[in-house]
Amino acid sequence: MSVNIGDIAPDFSLKSEALEEITLSSFRGKKNVVLLFFPFANSGTCEKELCTMRDGMSAYENLDAQVLAVSVDSYFTHKLWADQQKFNFPLLSDFNKEVCKKYDSYMDVFAPGKFDYKGVAKRAAFVIDKEGKIQYAEILPSPGDEPNYEAIKESLEKLD
C-alpha cells in the first residue's frame, strides 16, 4: 500500500506499553498526530530519536500534537524500555507487522549481511492532521538516519 501527502491516514488499533488499545482515528477532530516508526526498541539510533521526542515534548504539545511511536517489538519490550527511558508518549506494538506495511514502513531485511533480521519497521515519520490527512511523510532509507525534527514541527505549525 502506498501512502501520500493528502491521503487519509490508514487507521489502526495497537496496544501500548501500558496495554491500552490506541486507535489512530480516535484523535480525529481532537489532535494532530506525529506517527513515528522505528526498527528496534533499546537500540542506538532509536533511543536517540525517541529521547529527542521525549525531551522536546512541550513543543509538540504546544502544536496540539500527540506523538505515537510504533515498532514490531512486543509490548513487553516496550514496557521495559518506556519505564527505563521515562517516555511520555505511547510505544505501540505492531508485532504482527500489519501497520508498518500500511505505511510503506516495512523492511524485509534489516542490515543485510550484518544482522539479516527479517521483517522490521523502517524509520519513518508522518504528521497527520485533525481531519486524519497525512500532511508530512518521511520514510528514511537507512535505519541509522533520524527524521527531520524541524520539518515535522514546521508541518505542525501550518495546521490549525
Q: Could you list the active site residues?
A: 46
DSSP E strand boundaries for the chain = 13-16, 21-23, 32-37, 65-71, 91-93, 106-110, 117-121, 124-128, 134-139
All cell numbers assigned to 10 = 490508514
Instruction: Tell me how many degrees the CA angle 125-141-70 measures, rounded to the nearest 5.
Output: 35
All cell numbers assigned to 150 = 524541524
